[in-house]
Amino acid sequence: MKSFFRCLIVIFLVFLFGCQKQQQTLTEAEKEAVKKEVKEQFNKLVSALNQKNAEEWSENYSKDEFLSAIVSTDYYATRSAWVDLIKNYFSQRERQKVESVEVRVTALTPDLALMTSEEKSEMWLTGGKDIKSKHVFTMIWKKEQGGWKILHSHESWIDEQIN
């Protein structure tokens, strides 16, 4: 009888520990792959910004798991509100140029990454103003079925008026 209970306890423990999600440790090669993939996707986002292509830009944000976006101190809890805001911003600009200065990616798991970046940007507004800015992003990226998507973003900048 004792051996039966011992076996039962061992089987229970195997199931208990076998069903728990194990902490994922990434190899250096896996970390580098995540960094490369996220940077490549971020470059596509910057390209969409430079084209003022709101549809292409918005494809970088998760449709299923969007958490939030913060621009300066304004908080957006829904993807649709965030996309609408950016479309409005783009409509007020003749053109814009965003140039990445530094992009840092930290792989958290094989499908989750933290990215911070610094950019130089210049905007030519429809009203005739030109604005140069130092810009920064903080983003949480997740690898979904359709590729790397942004779950959360925060951006800030300091403007320097030209005209």
For the chain, the helix, strand and coil percentages under 3-state DSSP, each to the nearest 5: 35, 40, 20
What does CATH list as the number for 28-161? 3.10.450.50
**Beta strands 147-161 and 93-109, pairing class:** unpaired
- Confirm if 90 and 124 have CB atoms less than 8 A apart: no
- Confirm if 129 and 49 have CB atoms less than 8 A apart: no
Domain ranges of the chain: 28-161
Q: What are the two backbone dihedrals, phi and then psi, of residue 132, each rounded to the nearest 5 degrees?
A: -100, 145
pLDDT at 6 > cutoff 80: no
Tens digit of each residue's pLDDT (9 = 90 or more) over 108-155: 999 999 999 999 999 999 989 999 999 999 999 999 999 999 999 999
Q: What pLDDT shows up at residue 160?
A: 77
More confident: 4 or 30 = 30
Tens digit of each residue's pLDDT (9 = 90 or more) over 13-64: 455 555 555 556 899 999 999 999 999 999 999 999 999 999 999 999 999 9
Reported confidence tier of residue 8, pLDDT bands at 50, 70, 90? very low
